[in-house]
Chains A and B, each alone.
Chain A
Amino acid sequence: AQSVTQPDIHITVSEGASLELRCNYSYGATPYLFWYVQSPGQGLQLLLKYFSGDTLVQGIKGFEAEFKRSQSSFNLRKPSVHWSDAAEYFCAVGARGSQGNLIFGKGTKLSVKP
């Protein structure tokens, strides 16, 4: 069965600084991978997803993520963080070849210092 680990519960960065949120997964083959963002009191919004092909995936709001098979990772990055990026971020993994449900990490809360 697949699993997802987001090692960082809370991260604080200064506005304009770069950001990397970590995500590690456990799965026997190449999974489907997703990053979602949740603003306070809101539902989750899909930032980006990886299915196959180019391992560097571009998403909305200037985010990107890189799939690294050797490290079982799918880290989310942004070169310059804006105050509006303060939110909670969830990584999710889905199994291929089935109707299996997505498995979500426990989330990383991002705070942005002015």
Chain B
Amino acid sequence: SQTIHQWPATLVQPVGSPLSLECTVEGTSNPNLYWYRQAAGRGLQLLFYSVGIGQISSEVPQNLSASRPQDRQFILSSKKLLLSDSGFYLCAWSVRTGGVNYGYTFGSGTRLTVV
């Protein structure tokens, strides 16, 4: 069965420090991968998605970047965190088949607090 792992679960980082959040998927190949952010009361904001190794699409210009060094690994990074980067970050994957979106499976999330 497919599983998605996201870590760390919680993170407290000072302003200006770097960030690296990792997400890995098991039990599937060639998934679409996504990074979302939830800020309080603002719903889900799509940050990045990837349809293959090295293929990253950015939805929102910001202080963050994403990389996909392996088929089932998706990394969210920042060189210098801002206070506004605080939030709940969710990784998700979906089956990549032509013409049908079967929905997303989400990781358990990372609570990031920038102080």
Q: Is A84 an interface residue (CB 8 A)?
A: no
- The contact of A99 among B6, B32, B90, B107, by CB within 8 Å, is B32
B34 and A44 within 8 A (CB): no
CB-nearest residue of chain B relative to A32? B101
> For residues 69 through 114 of chain A, which have their beta carbon under 8 Å from a beta carbon of chain B?
90, 92, 94-102, 104-107
* Residue B74 lies at the interface, judged by CB distance under 8 Å to chain A: no
Rounded to whole Å, the gap between the CB of B30 and the closest CB of chain A is 12
Is A105 a contact of B34 with CB atoms below 8 Å? no
Cα distance A46–B2 in the bound complex, in angstroms:
14
In the assembled complex, the Cα of A90 lies from the Cα of B99 at a distance in Å of: 23
Q: How far is the CB of B115 from chain A (nearest CB, A)?
A: 19
Whether A101 and B46, one on each chain, are in contact in the complex, defined by CB atoms closer than 8 angstroms, is: yes
* A26 on the B face (CB < 8 A): no
Contacts of A101 in B (CB 8 A): 34, 46, 49, 101
Say yes or no: A102-B104 contact (C-beta < 8 A), given A43-B90, A44-B90, A96-B99: yes
Count CB-based A-B contacts (< 8 Å): 58
Q: Give the residue name and chain of the A residue nearest to B91 (CB).
A: A43
The answer to whether A99 touches B101, judged by C-beta atoms less than 8 angstroms apart, is yes
Q: Which residues of B contact A45 (CB under 8 A)?
A: 106
Q: Which residues of A contact B101 (CB under 8 A)?
A: 32, 94-95, 99-102
Q: Does B77 contact A (CB under 8 A)?
A: no
List 18 contacting pairs A-B, 8 Å CB cutoff, sorted by A: A32-B100, A41-B88, A41-B111, A43-B107, A44-B106, A46-B104, A94-B101, A96-B99, A96-B100, A97-B99, A101-B46, A102-B103, A102-B104, A104-B43, A104-B44, A106-B42, A106-B43, A107-B44
Establish whether residues A42 and B108, one from each chain, have CB atoms under 8 Å apart when the complex forms.
yes
Contacts of B102 in A (CB 8 A): 49
Closest to A34 in B: B103
Q: Which of B63-113 contact A (CB under 8 A)?
A: 88, 90, 92, 94, 96, 98-109, 111
